[in-house]
Chain A
């Protein structure tokens, strides 16, 4: 019951956040975003046609009316049709978000799991060669641009210059082998890039935890290393780990991975969002901004509840 009350309170507290984010982004969209009128015009337009098109796009409506309409759309989750393709925004996102999730999640999960594992190893060998090697590799991974990693991995794994094991372009989830063939190289690229950041972050958290008094005391009392790691260190590290993971999820869901999608020809949400931004497709942008804000509120809530789960000392009050 406490948790439910807490959740409701957090959700209510999230409303001003959503309003603030949507108002700010809608203002930017309307006043500084691309004017789609001039994308949609024919080659030889007249002033009347420009006015007609602006009317069709609703650009001639007062700002507050348009913002009110936006909030109504957000409440009903009906954002109408894309200005570019004519497709319903809901179906556009319903089609592309699962692809982005399927594309990025394996790399995200592996990157975090491996990051935690390597961080534990590095932290437990702090100052010795495994630690130095892992940290050096992490810096190496962090210092290479994602674009370069994609390019190199694509050449190496997918083309006749290299191993030629996977397709360069395309996407499929018809069955597991099909999915694996398409997702492997993007996943390797994500892991390669994320691993450095994750390992350094988690190592710092773990090292800090390892220096705490209770850990030193437990170690002095002869607590077995595995138990020490799992019960006294890892559990106490969970809060920053949860924070990092939960706050990355909205970006994965909505943002997808634009570079991966562009390079591998994958029809995910990243491309949809990017094209909406550069073309000024406001119905899609409004949906993306609104959903991202809502997901962040949800992520905040989930994180807070998980804090309580892993550490009962955390008060829901």
Chain B
């Protein structure tokens, strides 16, 4: 009998597991995939390491900072700042037709960019900044307000509104077109006020630290063990049943599988409303270069681009992908300690994709589509950064079906369902949700989600 059964060995599940195991609970994490990490995972192909998910760790604060989510999770998990080994970004850019805004980990740069390019909007931007409170100040109702409506009371230039929304939507918005005000506030804080960083060794360093700590505290981790069903009696989960039929009994279940995905497992639920499932998923086109990106003049950490009059944050309507907007990230372009540098240049381009169309392809059509959309993604991106195509020595790509395999989220929805459940509760009194569908996204956010739900619902008994 476990005290807590955790579904999913991603950032949130591992963080929750550490908290509970630290306080002497008997904990078991069940992961359907053969590896840990969920959305923020890694793989090795052709002798090279690739990250899934992570372009950047958001919420970067310097060593010694006592405030902010990074400091909070380090304290809660008893890690030293050095153990995440974060190096800050070199600088990033939002690029729209005829207009660029640079930003880095000091919000003064963004302010001065807005002041010089949108002089009549800087007061409005300051007004917007004042409206964005702390992370913990929003209840469910306030969280779900329309960001475009609130921004409209501060900023009157639609171009600036779209430009400010672009990175925040890209890095954490499960809703099409608009964004929940709470989600916007979290993302604004974590990206514009705090900022981007990366461990030199990528996401695997953080994951390995989490797993090592979890195991050292006696936590159990079972890979290739997907939960098929949650057995329910009288509004109470009794046990979980695995894909292979094994029954595991626990006092409570903490699921990072997603809200709809978790409800579907509960055997007292006959039908789930799949209209609530997230619709936004991505492809990522990865290029390995024969030199450092900076040698080509590609010296920014992340470029968020959009080529149209308006910024369209929506599922592609009539093709596998939508190339009007994208994210170009080079993991080389961080200020690594002691002048360290990755051996090879890497450029990662993320584009919006449509799950069903990708999912319906047979194997040969899938391979053709990968090759075709890699070319189109790179072609789209080099309008906004120096053309690196002649320096490419290897490529790889992940698609919505890859994301589905790693996360088991419906539609490979990267940021989960649009409707978030902040308090992590479900219709069952001992089943709780953590992870993307609790409203926290990004690496620091998902770790925070696991910690806060473990604290609120699983520790005090």
A-B interaction: no
Q: B-side interface residues toward A, CB under 8 Å?
A: none
